[in-house]
Amino acid sequence: MVDLDTLFSLCKRRGFVYPSSEIYGGFGGFWDYGPLGVEMKRNIRELWWRSMVQERDDIVGLDAAIVMNPKVWEASGHVQGFVDRLVECKNCKQRFREEDVESMVCPNCGGQLSEARLFNTMFKTFVGPVEGDAAVAFLRPETAQGIFVDFKNVLNTSRKKLPFGIAQIGKAFRNEITPGKFIFRLREFEQMELEFFVRPGTDDEWFRYWVEQRKNWHLRYGISPENLRIYEVPSEERAHYSKATADLMFNFPFGWGELEGIADRTDFDLLRHSQVSGEDLTYFDEESNSRFIPYVIEPSVGVERPFLAFLLNAYHEEPDKEGTRVVLKLHPRLAPYKVAILPLSRKENLTLKAREIWAQLRPNFMTTYDDSQSIGRRYRRQDEIGTPWCVTVDFGTLEDQAVTIRDRDSMTQERVPISELLGNLQQRLASS
């Protein structure tokens, strides 16, 4: 697999990812997404939403506020329990997560490390004009709590019956002690979370169901089976709310790392919010004519970790006539651009025709246009950013009203009439 430095340099050079505030030296754990990265992130969100909400009859969406009443985080246990164990080097003063150091020796300078102390990784801020203790609020470290706090609202307005789920995508913030490994461990990231509410007693079954569903989603969009495995998290490593957790692990260049976590959160959150807020968050079950607090299964994944994993898995270097072809074999639905329109040369009659075709395709897909340098170079440039199809407009086009579609992976070419181009490309995308 490609190493992180090579991938990072491609990402930066081609406009997938830039260090945040780079002109000021960057800012640890924060990154920006360029013109290609923003498209790929949108695609990941869209594919998640599609499989979780659009294609199902038992899940609805939500978009809750990032900053919530601080009581939420007291009730959820985050003020008390959302902590990492932090050790500090007595010599160079650098801080590490205890989990990340192998012995009590500083990985940076070899100095002696302090005893571990607890460090809460929630970001604090102040709401309103007074910066006192009473005004402290938190940037959410997970999107899930918004779902629990709105459980009753959604239940009342959507009239869903158990089992049903609420899905949400949004930013989350964690003051990670040691951000890094490119975009693997971030301080600001985006989560895609589903809370799937079920009858107590059916939770084990639903837990297995969601582990399987989510594994298949990653495989469907390009993760190779040998790079994905399931880690059943033992109780001592599980979050405070979890009865069972399975992590989907990806084989990153630095070792196996968590891509997504699926947890059985039981009735922990709704029960806590009922107790602390005084609101009745029970569900009335017509089938059994009884009231209870549902159990919940949560598949939780960031946008950025699959983003990184999809890129790593897609990166290929292949020998070719000119040396090496770098190609991102991204699933077409993930690729930033689906189609590139390339006139064979900059002759005006060709570029005019090519621009006309480009304008016809633009409303249907994300597309790009390139008329600089040799056609071979331009194919390579599109290969490197994962564009699955290039449409070439040549001198023959002006005669026969046909263009050539070149496929990124097989490099085969097909001549198609312009009148059939859109349908042909749509067909290719639909069958990918």
CA distance linking residue 286 with residue 268, whole number of Å: 23
C-alpha Rg value of the chain to the nearest Å: 25
**Which lies closer to ligand ATP via its Cβ, residue 264 or residue 371?**
264
Map residues 54-93 to x or -, x wherever contact with ligand ATP holds by CB under 6 A: ----------------------------------------
SS3 104: coil
* Distance set, CA 230 to CA 181, 250, 288, 341 (Å): 21, 9, 35, 41
Report yes or no: 65 and 147 within 8 Å, Cβ to Cβ. no
301 contributes a contact to ligand ATP by CB under 6 A: yes
DSSP codes, 309-359: HHHHHHEEEEEETTEEEEEE---TTTSS-SEEEEESS--HHHHHHHHHHHH
146 contributes a contact to ligand ATP by CB under 6 A: no
176 contributes a contact to ligand ATP by CB under 6 A: yes
Q: Segment 261-300, which members bind ligand ATP (CB under 6 A)?
A: 261, 300
Bridge partners, 291 (sequence order): 284
189 contributes a contact to ligand ATP by CB under 6 A: yes
185 contributes a contact to ligand ATP by CB under 6 A: yes
Among 195, 203, 260, 370, binds ligand ATP (CB under 6 A): 260
Contacts of 33 (CB under 8 A, 6+ apart): 16, 17, 18, 40, 41
Among 46, 258, 285, 384, binds ligand ATP (CB under 6 A): 258
Pairing of strands 123-126, 136-139: antiparallel
Tokens found for residue 416: 């198609």
**Which lies closer to ligand ATP via its Cβ, residue 241 or residue 337?**
241
Q: Segment 368-407, which members bind ligand ATP (CB under 6 A)?
A: none
Tokens found for residue 150: 């709105």
**Which lies closer to ligand ATP via its Cβ, residue 79 or residue 127?**
79
310 contributes a contact to ligand ATP by CB under 6 A: no
Nearest-approach distance from CB 254 to ligand ATP, in angstroms: 12
Nearest-approach distance from CB 190 to ligand ATP, in angstroms: 8
Nearest-approach distance from CB 186 to ligand ATP, in angstroms: 4
Contacts of 13 (CB under 8 A, 6+ apart): none
**Which lies closer to ligand ATP via its Cβ, residue 300 or residue 368?**
300
Total of residues contacting ligand ATP (CB under 6 A):
15
**Which lies closer to ligand ATP via its Cβ, residue 299 or residue 388?**
299
375 exposure class (CB count in 10 Å sphere: 0-12, 13-18, 19+): middle
How many CB atoms within 10 Å of residue 125? 12
Q: Distance of alpha carbon 363 from its chain centroid, rounded?
A: 25
Nearest-approach distance from CB 431 to ligand ATP, in angstroms: 29
| Site residues (vs ligand ATP, CB under 6 A) | 174, 176, 185-186, 189, 191, 258-261, 300-302, 304-305
